[in-house]
Amino acid sequence: MYRLFICSLLLLAAVVQAEEQSADYAAYQMKMLLQGQAEENQQVNEQVLNDMENVCADKQAAMAELLNFVRTGKGTVRKNAIAELVKSAKANNFDRDCNSWQFDIMTAFTEQKVDHSAYRQYLFTAIAKQPSASASGLLVNVLDYALSQRMLNDEEWQQVQSIVVSAGHLEARQLMNALLLTAQAKDQRKEEHQYLVSANVDLVLANIDAIINASSAEKQTGKVTQGYLVNTLLSQSQRLLPEQFAGLYKQYAAQLDKPARLAPNMGLYLIEQPNEERIALVHSYVQQLRQQPARLGRKDAKKIISFLDKLDKSSQTSEVVSGFFDELIANNEPLVSNAIAAARLSSEQKSYWLGYYE
């Protein structure tokens, strides 16, 4: 009986061991099967990616050849190349992966002054279909092309407005710059901007005003505020439209988001032509600065210090600026002291500015 019990135990152990080995083997087989499938899937995916890369490369090469005909061809050859490029553009999406040639077409058409109404219409239609996150970036390129041909029509202005109010800060600044450049006189433009059309300054500013009014006064994630657009308009118009700057400041001063950010521009505006009219405007601006919170942020404080530094240097050569600067320093100690404290200046810089009050 005992021997029978021992034999049973041994048989049970052998069965258990065999089952464990069988389970281990089954697990091993499954592992190898899954690994094989994974390797096969990886090979398939790699092949698909390679095929896509080849297709993209072939398409890019074909577009490059057509673009070369646009640049160097004449007559029917050039006309047919343009037609084929427009046809291809309409049949493909905008992206910078496989269809980066879409942006090459815009650049080439801008450089070669290709005025194609159907292509222009397609571009503005394409923008409307883009997610808001990418529409504003694409609009920068589209405006570059559109404004090299002629000014925007009412429908195009509406599309620009709807996109700018939802744009991020960088794109909004780029778009504002593009619009203001068209309003700048040709003889005042830099060489790289001569390709832009000349638009009526009042028309441009009226449409920018509509964009500002359509934007939100409250902060929203990923969107520019009304105050930011006003800051951008004023800072850029001081450089590009100095003759309109005073009127624009008076119009939008109350809507400035962060007045201190405009300080360096105000300094430049006075230094460029130090006269009574400009002194009066900058004096009004300083009064606005005095109404800011006593505790300035570092960036705002550095802007104010930059403003003071510009005036200080110019006062060495201009009696008009010197008189204004001396009065500003004497009557605005709290503002200047707050800016000095918040800007985190070096010991030498602090001593220099505080020296005016010793």
Which pLDDT score is estimated for 40? 55
Q: What is the pLDDT of residues 215-236, one digit of tens each?
A: 877 776 667 889 999 999 999 9
pLDDT (mean) for 184-210: 89
* 181 and 304 within one domain: no
In a domain, 271, yes or no: yes
* 206 and 307 within one domain: no
- Of 255, 271, 306, the residue that ends a domain is 255
Q: What is the pLDDT of residues 81-91, one digit of tens each?
A: 999 999 999 99
* 321 and 191 within one domain: no
Phi and psi angles of residue 188, each rounded to the nearest 5 degrees, phi first? -105, -5
* 78 and 168 within one domain: no
Q: How many domains does the chain have?
A: 3
* 251 and 117 within one domain: yes
Query: 293 pLDDT band (50/70/90 cuts)?
Result: confident
* 248 and 124 within one domain: yes
In a domain, 337, yes or no: yes
* 300 and 197 within one domain: no
Query: 4 pLDDT band (50/70/90 cuts)?
Result: very low
pLDDT (mean) for 240-268: 94
- Counting every residue written for the chain, the total comes to 358
Q: Which domain holds residue 77?
A: 59-88
In a domain, 76, yes or no: yes
pLDDT (mean) for 179-205: 88
- Of 227, 255, 283, the residue that ends a domain is 255
Strand partners, 220: 223
* 264 and 245 within one domain: no
| Whether the Cβ atoms of residue 256 and residue 227 lie closer than 8 Å to each other | yes
Which pLDDT score is estimated for 93? 85
Mean of pLDDT over the chain: 84
Whole-number Å distance between alpha carbons of 116 and 94: 18
Could you tell me which residue, 41 or 220, shows the higher pLDDT? 220
Which pLDDT score is estimated for 37? 61
| The pLDDT of residue 318 is above 90 | yes
Q: Give pTM, 2 decimals.
A: 0.77
In a domain, 202, yes or no: yes
pLDDT (mean) for 120-140: 85
* 128 and 246 within one domain: yes
Could you tell me which residue, 317 or 39, shows the higher pLDDT? 317
Highest mean pLDDT among 132-141, 167-176, 335-344: 335-344
Question: What value, to the nearest 5°, has the Cα angle with vertex 115 and ends 188 and 122?
Answer: 115
Amino acid at site 33: L
Which pLDDT score is estimated for 19? 43
| The pLDDT of residue 189 is above 90 | no
| The pLDDT of residue 96 is above 90 | no
The count of other CB atoms within 10 Å of the CB of residue 258 is 16
Residues 6+ apart with CB under 8 A from 53: none
| The pLDDT of residue 277 is above 80 | yes
- Of 222, 255, 288, the residue that ends a domain is 255
Q: What is the pLDDT of residues 154-188, one digit of tens each?
A: 999 998 988 888 888 888 898 899 999 998 888 88
In a domain, 235, yes or no: yes
* 222 and 125 within one domain: yes
In a domain, 352, yes or no: yes
How remote is the C-alpha of 353 from its chain's centroid? 36
Percent of the chain scoring above 90 in pLDDT? 52
* 150 and 120 within one domain: yes
Which pLDDT score is estimated for 122? 93
In a domain, 23, yes or no: no
* 202 and 303 within one domain: no
C-alpha gyration radius of the chain? 33
In a domain, 193, yes or no: yes
Strand partners, 223: 220
